[in-house]
């Protein structure tokens, strides 16, 4: 079995969390199918790269804020608008969670 270690696991999870948030945001940037696929894949790629760099720099708390924000945003979107708006709610919640993580980090210092 592949042994990643703590840093490797952080990078993998960071890439997954931010990649999913990037894909969700890219999904809403276009209306036609071809640009929608391109923006979704591009957002996922850029998000995964940023997530891996953030995790490598020790941003575990920041990534946790984004994951919790995306989950709460998706649940709130389901409650308010139904299941068809869950991707938008997750993308928005992840963004707000990231901003909250940055603010908490700034206040702690």
- Prediction pTM value: 0.69
Q: Which domain holds residue 20?
A: 7-108
Output the CA torsion sign for 56, 46, 74, 16: negative
| pLDDT-above-90 percentage for the chain | 20
Please, are residues 77 and 90 in contact by the beta-carbon 8 Å criterion? yes
Has residue 42 been placed in a domain?
yes
Write out pLDDT tens, residues 48-69: 998 898 888 888 888 888 889 9
Question: Domain for residue 63, yes or no?
Answer: yes
Mean pLDDT for 93-104 is 88
- Is 51 inside a domain boundary? yes
Mean pLDDT of 65-81: 91
> How many domains are contained in the chain?
1
Average pLDDT, rounded, for the chain: 86
The Cα–Cα gap between 80 and 77 comes to 5
In a domain, 2, yes or no: no
HEC profile for 11-27?
A: HHHHHHHHHHHHHHHHH
């Amino acid at each position: 079995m592949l042994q990643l270690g703590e840093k490797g696991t952080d990078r993998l999870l960071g890439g997954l969390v931010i990649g999913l948030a990037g894909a969700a945001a890219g999904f809403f940037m276009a209306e036609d199918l071809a640009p929608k696929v391109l923006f979704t894949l591009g957002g996922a790629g850029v998000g995964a790269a940023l997530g891996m760099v953030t995790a490598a720099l020790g941003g575990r708390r920041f990534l946790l804020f984004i994951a919790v924000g995306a989950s709460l945003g998706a649940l709130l979107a389901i409650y308010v608008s139904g299941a068809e708006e869950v991707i938008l709610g997750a993308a928005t919640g992840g963004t707000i969670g990231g901003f909250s993580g940055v603010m908490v980090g700034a206040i702690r210092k």
